[in-house]
Chain A
Amino acid sequence: MPQEPPPEPAPAAPAEGAEGEPAVPNPERLYSLTGTAAGSERASIDLVTLIVAAEDPPPTLTPEQVSLLRLCTAPLSVAEISAYLSLPFSVVTILLTELMAADLVQARAPIVRQIVPDRSLLEAVMHGLQKL
């Protein structure tokens, strides 16, 4: 099964922060992020992007960052992080963007729908469902 996700399009500009919500403090940072080894992780964060915490977090983190990193000792989706932290998805993506920029987390991009779907991927999912 191919594990290499396709390159993602450039991230869209973040929405203007709504009243009472933190706006993205430094929007241009979203564009300056570069991918890690696979070259496919950009600031575009999906609900099912898997997040894994880096091994040695520095002692200078905010409580939010500490909570988030503790959750991600094993791979965890952004949706699950949002659920466990009781934070809106958009807020979690902002926190994650900061952590990604600081190399404190690794993001594993989802496999997305292709115009010509990958049959071996579909077969793997079917096989997995049969085991339920």
Chain B
Amino acid sequence: MDFKSSDTVPGPRVEDHLPHTTQAAVKIVIVGGFGVGKTTMVGSVSEIKPLTTEETMTQAGVGVDDNYGSDSKTATTVAMDFGRIGITEQLVLYLFGTPGQERFWFLWNGLFEGALGAVVLIDTRRLEVSFDVMGRLEERGVPFVVAVNSFPDAPRYPVPELRAALDLAEWVPIIECDVRRRASSRDVLMTLMHFLHTLATRRAPV
């Protein structure tokens, strides 16, 4: 593996340094199909230039015993873009945009397990991609909201129709957004946070 010498490794700009008082991070995952706007959303709200973490996925060939030195294993590099928002002097929020396919989720240990919640970003032209994602999140107990990215050339549907088409429970928020706009992306995150807060209030002991 190539390793860049320490002289050439870029690092965060000084203005991007987190305060030394930062004690902990929280994360939110933005999940959706290819080209749905995950990276655009991360970029529109992030306070740092979005970065990319990679992981290598190795798929073993069928014949386990005879693949030594052969090319029956294929390695695929999977990338995930992320951004960051400073919350307080002690707390920082990270946003990860991840593909909808569950097989990618295992590459990053704890990607969803510890996340406060998720945003399922959908494109009305490809609703079918979302079913599997929402099912997986429910199985894992990850609370989520649904955000419909308004592509100029995509058909527009009233929210109740979309909710029905997605077979989405009435208590799960669904909102329209334009992820190119910071205010719109922030509204999506606020919707998620309000939803989580409602859940917390409901579950809190009386």
Contact = CB atoms under 8 A, between A and B. Distances in A.
A18 B193 contact: no
B22 interface: yes
A91 to B, nearest CB: 7
Contact of A119 (B85, B115, B201): B201
Contact-residue size bin, chain B (C-beta under 8 Å from the other chain) = 35 or more
Contacts of B201: 119
Contact of A46 (B77, B86, B109, B194): B109
Interface string A101-132: 00000001111110111110111111111101
A100 to B, nearest CB: 15
Interface in A59-107: 63-64, 66-67, 70-71, 73-77, 79-80, 82-91, 93
A58 interface: no
A84 B18 contact: no
A11 B189 CA distance: 31
A20 interface: yes
Interface string A16-30: 001111100000000
A70 B190 CA distance: 35
Given A47-B111, A116-B204, A119-B201, A128 B23 contact: no
A32 interface: no
Interface of B: 1, 3-6, 9-12, 17-20, 22-27, 45, 51-56, 58, 73, 75, 77, 82, 84-88, 90-94, 96, 107-111, 113-117, 142-143, 182, 186, 189-190, 193-194, 196-197, 199-201, 203-205
21 contacts: A20-B75, A49-B25, A50-B23, A66-B6, A75-B22, A79-B94, A79-B96, A84-B11, A85-B4, A86-B4, A87-B1, A88-B77, A113-B114, A113-B116, A122-B116, A126-B190, A126-B193, A128-B85, A128-B86, A129-B93, A129-B189
